[in-house]
Chains A and B, each alone.
Chain A
Amino acid sequence: MSLGFIERIIGPRVSPEEAWERSIRYGTPGFLLLAARILLLTSLFLPYWHMELQAPQYPQGLHMTAYLNHLTGDVVEIDGLNHYIGMRSLYEAAQLEREVGVFIMIAFVVLLELAAYIHSRWAVLLVAPVVLFPVVFLVDLQLWMRHFGLNLDPDAPLSNSIKPFVPTALGRGGIGQFVTIATPGIGLYLATAASVVLIAALFFHRRAYLPLVRQQAAEANDGST
């Protein structure tokens, strides 16, 4: 008996009795996938990235916080200062990302939901984009910083004294009298935690289902010969 395409993708099924008997073995991957979904959904409401600007005349500092779908903090003031060096308004940065951020997150949740039903190696394909998400976020951020920092308006008031530069996406930087401190937000930490949890989930997934997949393949082979 050969396996159909769909069956090969969704992988072997475990009977309810067996799943109940070996609940740790078969429950762990699903539980971890659920935990990752909760982490990701929670991160939607939490800041992903902070930028603090310190300067003598701002004793409280200037603060900007990026969520997946919006910016908060002293963005207007920072934009006002940035106009001196000819940097575009921060509201123009990552507009697409901020618009689709929530939908991507929902898509991730759906992918993980599906991954919980797939007991084959194909589950990796569904989980991988979610695992890579924090890295993609940071790379995207750094690319935007680079783009903004290197494309300053040459007619700006201070274009003679401040040359194009690449602001740092994480860590300390400096521009004029400002010290900039960029730090990850709790949302990004949660997304990273979700990645770690997902890697663990894949490990336990493999441990639970790989023997079944091999057994299924062997049975299929036996049947065909």
Chain B
Amino acid sequence: MKHAPIPIRTAVAASVAAIGLLAGHAAAQSMADVQKAAQARGLSTADLLAAAKTYTPSGMKDEFVIFSSGGHSGQVHVIGVPSMRLLRTIAVFTPEPWQGWGYGVGNDVLAQGNVAGKPNLWGDTHHPALSETNGDYDGEWLFINDKVNSRVAVIDLRDFETKQILKNPLTVSNHGLCVTPNTEYVIESSQYGVPFGWEYATMDKYKETHRGCVIFWKFDRKQGRIIPGESFAMELPPYWQDIADAGKLASDGFIFINSLNTELATGGVQDKKPPFEAGVSRNATDLLHIVDWKKAEAVFRAGGAKEQFGFPVIPIETSIAEGLLYLTPEPRSPHGVDIAPKGDLIVVAGKLDPHVTVYSAEKIKRAIANKTYSGSDDYGIPILDFDAVVEARVEVGLGPLHTQFGNDGYAYTSLFLDSAIARWTLGGEYGKGTPEPDWTLVHKTPVQYNVGHLGAVHGDTVNPLGRYLVSFNKWSVDRFIHPGPLLAQNFQLIDISGQGANMPVIYDMPIGFGEPHYAQIIRADLLKAWSIYPEVGWDPHKQRIDPMAPKKGMERVTRDGSTVEVWMTVVRSQFNPDHVKVKQGDTVIWRMTNLERAVDAVHGFAVPAYNIAVSLEPGETVTVEFIADTPGVFPFYCSEFCSALHLEMMGYLMVEPN
């Protein structure tokens, strides 16, 4: 017996009536209702104000977008501001089945990140770098590093998909990542000292055998790829280089890189030697690296680099001789080296020094020109005299880590130990924008808890926009329900549109998917992402039509020897063909095109037993290849709830046994 279909008119009438009731209710609301609801939940006036600043009703869109590193999730997370809603996770170094990443989509890209010939299917993403034009974000590309295996990925912001992964052959781990003001180079700085090329050496020869490096990856915007053949590296002492930032405007042409282990500590706690945490922190200062990248590029192009493990490397001696590399003392255990909007000031925060130390680009240039050295390090690299290059030191609190800039002359520094964000005033031209005296701590807003990096809107560009700052807290302790002992991190949104002590926390966002480090915040209207692929049959990897893409009306299965090719179209709610018969041992090349042109009409392609999951966004073509080694009957289906007849959107892969 058939069920009577639900009378549509009745359903429509009922929902219209319901909407009518709701609308009637809305009209009757008053501030008294708001007060009542606030009282019932114990909300203060400050809470209601924060809610008014952040609550984003259905359909309202965010003004800004955070691109956050995903830490050991190996991905990038995209979050709206001020709503603090997670908009998207971009799969990068780690397979991710929703996007099909590593299960049929992007397998080749992931394989580019093979380490020593083997897949390493996770990453520890730290520092996202949006592409820049004239020192400001342009919203076109995003770069992200993987600390654990020293890799760099290129993400296309037209479709938010990873297009390229690079593994340098020199070093093992990295930390810093930044771009030059017009994205000529993506700069990767190594972290822990190791012998180049994954070679073996014992710790007693650390100073001689271990090295750090900075890699200049040449980016070709037209191709949307880094060109390894035009990239080069500079050899550095094994000082554990850390964060790097590229100079701009007044400091254009320089790269600044922090380092932590100028002590050359090698650990050995089991042999009663000082553990790393003590050995690495012994010296009163570490060494800020100052690299003249434009000169380095000229030296590389003139053949001044030596090939090491298939990669051109400028040796330390050449860097010294050509004046490419200088050092200067910096507060110990530094993390952020951050360049003020005009490029004239370089702010370094050392976690074990309560000050931020501010260097002058002008003074650095003068000291280089006049050779105002206080000596040189063990490798012969000149050390610029600290007093000759420093502009100011501002006591901001305990555990300063990273600095961002506002639009009005304030700088903001995260304080890990104080669990606070410090607002302080810059001097010179910047000082005119702030009522307080120059170079002064203005206010500390407590955050919950243990803030690492912080991010302000365009806060590391030539044109910071102020408004919001996000404190990327490592611990949340008591802020959220405990979902077992692995707690979420806490992204706290801070309103920095006021002055002085007015910078309240207005929203907490739990991050339950890895531990983010740095994140950048861009104006949403600078992003020009596609809602659907431009044409049907689009190959997202090449960003053009795939000439082999299956077309409507041309669906077929062909066989050539033991190779079976499937040309399948996908549309609501059918796969065509929906029977695919092969023989055990056949090589199957399965091409599929999503014919849809409607926004959000995504289909999935899920195949049991063969570890295949594909996401087919409107217009997209994907090709998967596998050996049909397991005989049987395998129902494949659409893994996106695409339509009312979604469950019916399936087919059978029949693998006939030998």
Tell me which of A40-48, A76-84, A132-140, A212-220 binds B.
Answer: A76-84
Within 8 A of A (CB), among B602-658: 644-645, 648
Say yes or no for A177: interface residue by CB 8 A criterion: yes
Say yes or no for A157: interface residue by CB 8 A criterion: yes
The number of inter-chain residue pairs (CB within 8 angstroms) is 23
Interface string of B585-600 (1 = CB under 8 A from A): 0000000000011100
Alpha-carbon distance between A176 and B596 when the two chains are bound, in angstroms: 21
Say yes or no for A224: interface residue by CB 8 A criterion: no
Least distance between B596 CB and chain A CB atoms (Å)? 7
Say yes or no for B573: interface residue by CB 8 A criterion: yes
Alpha-carbon distance between A176 and B648 when the two chains are bound, in angstroms: 19
> Which partner residue on chain A sits nearest B4 by CB separation?
A161
B572 touches A160 (CB 8 A): no
Least distance between A196 CB and chain B CB atoms (Å)? 39
Which residues does chain B contribute within 8 Å of A174, judged by CB atoms? 8, 12
B596 touches A80 (CB 8 A): yes
Say yes or no for B2: interface residue by CB 8 A criterion: yes
Least distance between B73 CB and chain A CB atoms (Å)? 31
B645 touches A161 (CB 8 A): no
Say yes or no for B571: interface residue by CB 8 A criterion: yes
B596 touches A157 (CB 8 A): no
B8 touches A176 (CB 8 A): yes
B contacts with A, residue count (CB < 8 A):
13
User: Secondary structure at chain B's binding surface: helix, strand, loop or mixed?
Assistant: loop
Q: Which of B2, B596, B598 contacts A160 (CB 8 A)?
A: B2
Q: Which of B5, B8, B571, B644 contacts A80 (CB 8 A)?
A: B571
Among A80, A161, A177, find the residue whose CB has the most chain B CB atoms closer than 10 A. Answer: A80
Alpha-carbon distance between A175 and B571 when the two chains are bound, in angstroms: 21
Which residues does chain A contribute within 8 Å of B597, judged by CB atoms? 74, 76-77
Which residues does chain A contribute within 8 Å of B572, judged by CB atoms? 80
Interface string of B486-525 (1 = CB under 8 A from A): 0000000000000000000000000000000000000000
Within 8 A of B (CB), among A11-26: none
Q: Which of A80, A157, A176 contacts B598 (CB 8 A)?
A: A80
A84 touches B2 (CB 8 A): no
Which residues does chain A contribute within 8 Å of B596, judged by CB atoms? 80
Q: Which of B5, B573, B598, B648 contacts A161 (CB 8 A)?
A: B5
A157 touches B5 (CB 8 A): no
Alpha-carbon distance between A137 and B474 when the two chains are bound, in angstroms: 69
Interface string of A73-94 (1 = CB under 8 A from B): 0101100100010000000000
Which residues does chain A contribute within 8 Å of B573, judged by CB atoms? 84, 157
Alpha-carbon distance between A80 and B2 when the two chains are bound, in angstroms: 26
Least distance between B531 CB and chain A CB atoms (Å)? 11
Q: Which of B8, B12, B571, B648 contacts A157 (CB 8 A)?
A: B648
A160 touches B5 (CB 8 A): yes
> Which partner residue on chain A sits nearest B9 by CB separation?
A174
Alpha-carbon distance between A10 and B648 when the two chains are bound, in angstroms: 69
Q: Which of A74, A84, A176 contacts B645 (CB 8 A)?
A: A84
Interface string of A151-172 (1 = CB under 8 A from B): 0000001001100000000000
Interface string of B4-24 (1 = CB under 8 A from A): 010010001000000000000
Which residues does chain B contribute within 8 Å of A160, judged by CB atoms? 2, 5
Which residues does chain A contribute within 8 Å of B2, judged by CB atoms? 160
Alpha-carbon distance between A80 and B601 when the two chains are bound, in angstroms: 11
Which residues does chain B contribute within 8 Å of A77, judged by CB atoms? 597-598
Alpha-carbon distance between A84 and B649 when the two chains are bound, in angstroms: 13
Within 8 A of A (CB), among B79-102: none
> Which partner residue on chain A sits nearest B598 by CB separation?
A77
B8 touches A177 (CB 8 A): yes
Which residues does chain B contribute within 8 Å of A176, judged by CB atoms? 8
Alpha-carbon distance between A44 and B12 when the two chains are bound, in angstroms: 39
Alpha-carbon distance between A196 and B230 when the two chains are bound, in angstroms: 73
> Which partner residue on chain B sits nearest A59 by CB separation?
B59
Least distance between A76 CB and chain B CB atoms (Å)? 5
Alpha-carbon distance between A157 and B2 when the two chains are bound, in angstroms: 15
Alpha-carbon distance between A160 and B5 when the two chains are bound, in angstroms: 9
Alpha-carbon distance between A131 and B596 when the two chains are bound, in angstroms: 42
Alpha-carbon distance between A74 and B5 when the two chains are bound, in angstroms: 28
Which residues does chain B contribute within 8 Å of A177, judged by CB atoms? 8, 12
Alpha-carbon distance between A224 and B157 when the two chains are bound, in angstroms: 91
Alpha-carbon distance between A28 and B8 when the two chains are bound, in angstroms: 56
> Which partner residue on chain B sits nearest A179 by CB separation?
B12
Which residues does chain B contribute within 8 Å of A74, judged by CB atoms? 597-598
Interface string of B538-577 (1 = CB under 8 A from A): 0000000000000000000000000000000001110000
Least distance between B638 CB and chain A CB atoms (Å)? 14
> Which partner residue on chain B sits nearest A81 by CB separation?
B572
Which residues does chain A contribute within 8 Å of B571, judged by CB atoms? 80
> Which partner residue on chain A sits nearest B573 by CB separation?
A157
Alpha-carbon distance between A223 and B8 when the two chains are bound, in angstroms: 78
> Which partner residue on chain B sits nearest A58 by CB separation?
B598
Alpha-carbon distance between A174 and B648 when the two chains are bound, in angstroms: 25
Within 8 A of A (CB), among B1-55: 2, 5, 8, 12
Least distance between B33 CB and chain A CB atoms (Å)? 28
Alpha-carbon distance between A76 and B597 when the two chains are bound, in angstroms: 8
Which residues does chain A contribute within 8 Å of B8, judged by CB atoms? 174, 176-177
Least distance between A162 CB and chain B CB atoms (Å)? 9
Within 8 A of B (CB), among A39-82: 74, 76-77, 80
Alpha-carbon distance between A160 and B1 when the two chains are bound, in angstroms: 13
> Which partner residue on chain B sits nearest A77 by CB separation?
B598
Alpha-carbon distance between A77 and B532 when the two chains are bound, in angstroms: 13
Least distance between B399 CB and chain A CB atoms (Å)? 48
> Which partner residue on chain B sits nearest A56 by CB separation?
B15
Mind listing 5 A-B residue pairs with CB under 8 Å? A76-B597, A77-B598, A84-B645, A160-B2, A161-B5
Sorted nearest first, the 5 A-B pairs with minimum C-beta distance are A161-B5, A77-B598, A76-B597, A157-B645, A80-B572
Interface residues of A (CB under 8 A from B): 74, 76-77, 80, 84, 157, 160-161, 174, 176-177
Excluding A76-B597, A84-B644, A174-B8, 8 further A-B contacts by CB distance (< 8 Å) are: A74-B598, A77-B597, A80-B598, A157-B573, A157-B645, A160-B2, A160-B5, A177-B12
